[in-house]
Amino acid sequence: MQNSQARFEKLVNALSSDLFRYAFMLCRNRAMAEDLVQETFMRAWRFLDSLRDERKAKRWLLTILRREFARQFERYQPPFDDIELEEIAADDGVNPEVWAVRRGLAKLPDKYREVLVLQVIGGYTGAEMAKLLELPRATVNTRLFRARQQLRGILESDDETPGVGEGRRS
C-alpha cells in the first residue's frame, strides 16, 4: 500500500496541472475544473492497480476525466464566460496574442477545441488521440484540421490580434 501511495503521489505531482488545464478547457470554469480533477484522481486512486504501464498514465487519467465530465455535465452547456477569461488574463498577465488565442479557443465548437487542447497538452499523435477519444483516426484528423482552420479564421477576423492568425511576418 505504501508503494501505491508513492505511485499515486507521483502521478498527482506530475499530472494534476495538465489535467486541470484540460478540464478548464472542457468546462471553462475554474471551480468546476478543479472539482473534475479532484474526482478524477479519487477514481484513479481506487483503480490504481489497473494502471499497469506508467507511460500510459496521462492518457488513462484524461480518459477518466473525460468520462467524469460527460457524466457530471451531460446536460451542462458552458457559457462563453468572458468574466472567467478576463480574470485569467489579468492573473496570468498574458500577452495580447495569447489572450486572443484563448478567446478564440473558447469560441470553437467543443469537439474541435477538445482535440486541439488534447494535442497541445498531451503531444499525442492522431492515432493515439483516436484511441483516447474512441473515434476513427480520420475523424480526429478532420477535427484537428478544422479546429486550426477555424481558430485562425477567428483570429484573422479580430482586428486586435495582428499577425497571430498567420504568424508573424518579418
For the chain, count helices (H), then strands (E): 8, 0
**Sole binder of other proteins in the list 55, 72, 112, 120 (CB under 8 A):** 120
**Residue selected from 82, 92, 110, 160 as contacting other proteins according to rule CB under 8 A:** 92
Q: Half-sphere exposure of 25 toward its Cβ, with a 13 Å CA cutoff?
A: 25
Distance from C-alpha of 150 to C-alpha of 147, rounded to nearest angstrom:
5
Q: How far apart are CA 140 and CA 40, in angstroms?
A: 24
Residues 6+ apart with CB under 8 A from 97: 161, 163, 164
Residue closer to other proteins by CB (options 134, 159) is 134
Q: Summarize as ranges the residues that interact with other proteins (CB under 8 A).
A: 1-2, 4-5, 8-9, 12-13, 16-17, 20-21, 24-25, 30, 34, 37-38, 41-47, 49-51, 60, 63-64, 67, 71, 88, 91-92, 94-95, 97-99, 101-102, 105, 116-117, 119-121, 123, 125-126, 141, 144-145, 148-149, 151-152, 164-169
